[in-house]
């Protein structure tokens, strides 16, 4: 599995970094040696590190070859191979007169018609592997099984939705190219009647329209905002079935029937397996109503698999008997064999559920799954940085529940919802051997009553993500001031001005140092900020880090995704995201 490899000056060694640390910040308190002014200040963006003088010109190209780049290359090679098969097949059907006319719908007896026919057939054959990819990538049970098989070592299937997206874009592009070329050729030949008088023409027009209805709303942000989610989801499924049927019957003398039948047949079998064998009735549901959402707790029904780092589809009959919605599932922090989902009130269906749970209810719900998500790859790495925005905290809770005793699971959580912060601080079990940073960006004041672990801090500011990640890696990878070594250090200034909220608070920021205060033990911590870029480059000197670290993000913030991609690229560690695109 190929990952981003960061480039660094070869002259920087670990010994240089140790000297730099001692010279840069000689008066750091023993409790922590951790950069933190970055948590608040809008310092220069991560990209500025790339423009510093360093010997990296030879490695810039290699760094860009990440997992998704190889997927695109592999798909491109498959399309070229399929197109070659189409060319060879066409050559064998050239008539004695030198023209290609096996049947009236694909007849070319002049150079203009031949060029247009060549473009349409090449587009069709290059579309074949994309059609297979579009349907196979939505076989959720197959994907979940492959996550547990050795296949995942050789073929990256962690983010199957990305495969679905690039396959769908190719299908939309090739469908238009194929259709326009055929229509232009028939108009040129005076055979426009073939559009409605032939099976090939009629099914082609239907498939063309269905593919457009599927693809354009998915690619257009304006249409996504205009059309309700439920309408787009139903149209996506219904017209995908129509597209598969039309394609299968489009050209009986070619291989398209076999290709479409295999792809759609696999999807249909997977759907039937989910419906009959992985759909469960939860007889007792327990809803906990929060300020802006609802937490659903349920006892795992018999046969419910323990795929904690995944998601389920939920149907609530007293809201709608026809709507299934995907949510991350995580184990309950106290009750054995219980699972939870958090439903944020942000749409018609979720807001209706929020209103219905004002009064306590135990009415049954239906769940389907669970299915694997990108967070299922967490077991492949020693050190994790889980980043979440808003309700994206739920898959991180599942990872922490399962792996907190075996891995270092660092958490960075940004949210506006004060009730969520208070709820999960009271209920979730955060890791004592890793860092937890919670950034509350809402206007409502937090009211935290429980004591925070020594490695957990809550801020009322927005973070500078690349600085936060640098310091997490700095602390753990160099084995200096590890989180489990964090011990309370009583300080006179902290005793004189104790915290009154139980949160980490920004007390002072003289020069580049920041002191944090925690109420439970009146402990004071000093954090230092990064004064230059040499430490960042030295951290990326060890290529093997990419085999030990992974950053997982769940949420929908494009700005956060871009910052994380840049930070992970510079640190040389893998980045994956789950953006609720199930």
Q: What is the pLDDT of residues 229-261, one digit of tens each?
A: 888 889 999 999 999 999 999 887 777 888 899
Percentages helix, strand, coil for the chain (3-state, rounded to 5) are: 50, 15, 35
* Closest by Cα among 497, 546, 498 to 518: 498
**CA-to-CA separations, 290 to 181, 295, 424, in angstroms, rounded:** 56, 7, 11
From first to last of its 582 residues, what are the pLDDT tens digits of the chain? 333 323 322 222 333 333 333 333 222 222 333 333 333 333 333 333 333 333 333 333 343 456 778 888 889 999 999 999 989 988 888 888 878 888 888 888 889 999 999 999 999 999 999 999 999 999 999 998 988 888 887 777 777 888 899 999 999 999 999 999 999 999 999 999 999 889 999 999 999 999 999 999 988 888 888 888 888 889 999 999 999 999 999 887 777 888 899 999 999 999 999 999 999 999 988 998 888 889 999 999 988 876 567 899 999 999 999 999 999 898 888 888 899 999 988 888 999 999 998 888 889 999 998 998 888 888 888 899 999 998 889 899 889 888 888 889 999 999 998 888 888 888 878 888 888 899 998 888 888 777 777 888 888 888 888 888 888 888 887 777 778 776 443 332 332 233 333 344 433 333 333 334 444 433 333 344 433 344 445 554 455 566 789 999 998 888 999 999 988 888 888 888 886 654
What is the maximal distance between C-alpha atoms in the chain?
A: 99
**Cβ atoms 107, 114 nearer than 8 A:** no
All domains in the chain, ordered by first residue:
103-252 (no CATH), 279-374 (2.40.30.10)
* Closest by Cα among 35, 41, 26, 151 to 464: 41
Q: Which two tokens mark 359?
A: 């009064």
Q: 411: which strand partners?
A: 386, 436
Q: Which helix (H) or strand (E) holds 458?
A: strand 456-459
Look at the pTM and tell me if it is higher than 0.75: yes
Report the 3 state secondary structure along 333-396. Answer: CCCCCEEEEEEECCCHHHHHHHHHCCCCCCCCEEEEEEEECHHHHHHHCCEEEEEEEHHHHHHH
- What's the CA gap between 25 and 425, in Å, rounded? 32
Q: What angle do CA 287, 358, 417 make, to 5 degrees?
A: 75
- What's the CA gap between 478 and 468, in Å, rounded? 16
Burial class (CB in 10 A: 0-12, 13-18, 19+), 169: middle
> Distance between alpha carbon 92 and the CA centroid of its chain, in Å?
46
pLDDT in tens, 539-575: 544 555 667 899 999 988 889 999 999 888 888 888 8
pLDDT in tens, 328-385: 898 888 888 899 999 988 888 999 999 998 888 889 999 998 998 888 888 888 899 9
Q: Which helix (H) or strand (E) holds 180?
A: helix 160-189
């Amino acid at each position: 599995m190929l990952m981003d490899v960061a480039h660094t000056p070869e002259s920087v060694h670990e010994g240089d970094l140790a000297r730099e640390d001692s010279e840069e910040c000689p008066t750091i308190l023993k409790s922590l040696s951790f950069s933190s002014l970055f948590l608040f200040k809008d310092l220069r963006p991560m990209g500025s590190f790339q423009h510093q003088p360093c010997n990296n010109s030879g490695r810039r190209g290699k760094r860009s070859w990440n997992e998704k780049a190889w997927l695109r290359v592999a798909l491109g090679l498959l399309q070229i191979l399929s197109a070659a098969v189409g060319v060879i097949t066409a050559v064998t059907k050239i008539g004695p007169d030198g023209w290609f006319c096996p049947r009236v719908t694909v007849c070319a007896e002049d150079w203009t018609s031949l060029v247009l026919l060549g473009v349409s057939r090449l587009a069709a054959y290059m579309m074949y592997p994309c059609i297979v990819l579009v349907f196979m990538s939505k076989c959720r049970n197959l994907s979940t099984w492959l996550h547990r098989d050795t296949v995942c070592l050789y073929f990256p299937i962690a983010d199957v939705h990305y495969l679905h997206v690039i396959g769908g874009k190719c299908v939309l592009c090739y469908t238009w190219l194929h259709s326009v070329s055929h229509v232009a050729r028939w108009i040129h030949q005076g055979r426009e009647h073939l559009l409605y008088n032939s099976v090939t023409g009629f099914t082609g027009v239907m498939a063309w329209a269905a593919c457009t209805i599927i693809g354009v709303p998915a690619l257009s942000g304006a249409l996504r905002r205009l059309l309700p989610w439920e309408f787009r989801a139903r149209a996506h499924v219904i017209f995908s079935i129509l597209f598969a049927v039309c394609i299968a019957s489009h050209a009986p003398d070619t291989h398209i029937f076999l290709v479409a039948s295999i792809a759609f047949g696999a999807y249909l079998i997977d759907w039937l397996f989910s419906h009959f064998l992985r759909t469960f009735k939860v007889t007792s549901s327990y809803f906990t109503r929060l300020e802006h959402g609802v937490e659903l707790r349920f006892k795992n029904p018999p046969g419910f698999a323990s795929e904690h780092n995944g998601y389920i589809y939920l149907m609530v009959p007293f809201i709608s008997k026809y709507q299934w919605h995907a949510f991350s599932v995580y184990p309950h922090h106290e009750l054995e064999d219980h699972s939870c989902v958090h439903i944020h009130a942000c749409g018609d269906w979720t807001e209706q559920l929020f209103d219905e749970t004002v009064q306590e209810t135990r009415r049954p719900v239906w769940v389907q799954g669970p299915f694997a998500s990108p967070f299922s790859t967490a077991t492949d790495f020693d050190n994790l940085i889980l980043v979440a925005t808003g309700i994206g905290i739920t898959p991180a809770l599942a990872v922490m529940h399962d792996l907190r005793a075996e891995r270092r699971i660092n958490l960075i959580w940004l949210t506006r919802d004060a009730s969520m912060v208070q709820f999960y601080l009271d209920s979730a079990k955060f890791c004592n051997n890793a860092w937890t940073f919670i950034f509350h960006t809402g206007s409502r004041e937090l009211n935290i009553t429980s004591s925070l672990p020594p490695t957990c801090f809550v801020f009322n500011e927005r973070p500078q993500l690349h600085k936060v990640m640098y310091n997490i890696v700095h602390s753990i990878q160099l084995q200096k001031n590890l989180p489990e070594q964090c011990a309370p250090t009583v300080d006179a200034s902290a005793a004189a001005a104790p915290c009154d909220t139980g949160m980490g608070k920004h007390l002072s920021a003289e020069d580049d140092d920041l002191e944090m205060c925690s109420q439970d033990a009146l402990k004071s911590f000093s954090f230092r900020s990064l004064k230059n870029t040499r430490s960042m480059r030295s951290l990326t000197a060890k290529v093997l880090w990419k085999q030990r670290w992974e950053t997982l993000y769940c949420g929908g913030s494009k700005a956060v995704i871009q910052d994380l991609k840049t930070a992970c690229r510079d640190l040389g560690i893998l980045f994956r995201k789950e953006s609720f695109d199930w």
